[in-house]
Amino acid sequence: MFVEVMELITEVAFKRMDERLIDYLIEKGEDGKLFATHQVIANELGTAREVVSRLLKDFERRGLIILSRNCIQLTNLKLS
């Protein structure tokens, strides 16, 4: 638990949210899909749902993902 908190603090302090979100999607996605709500993702990343929704919409516009209800299809994501 302590290690997880320290990792979160390090990520918040030194990594941009879009990079953190991409890393999260790649890590949690299975078979090119992630089944989660924007709120669950936001809670796990320590940010607001609105921030996650805005970034996911931007990723979708850029052709990196496809959004549907409670499902994010990873199409062109690469580790940053």
Q: Please give the class, per CATH, of domain 2-74.
A: mainly alpha
Q: Which residue has the higher pLDDT, 53 or 5?
A: 53
**The pLDDT of residue 12:** 61
CA dist 59 and 54 (Å) reads 9
Cβ atoms of 59 and 65 within 8 Å: the answer is: yes
pLDDT higher than threshold 60 for residue 80: no
Q: Indicate the DSSP class of residue 77.
A: -
CA dist 11 and 46 (Å) reads 10
Output the pTM of the full model: 0.78
Instruction: Tell me the domain boundaries of the chain.
Output: 2-74
> Which pLDDT tens digit goes with each residue over 9-41?
766 665 689 999 999 999 999 999 999 999 999
Contacts of 78 (CB under 8 A, 6+ apart): none
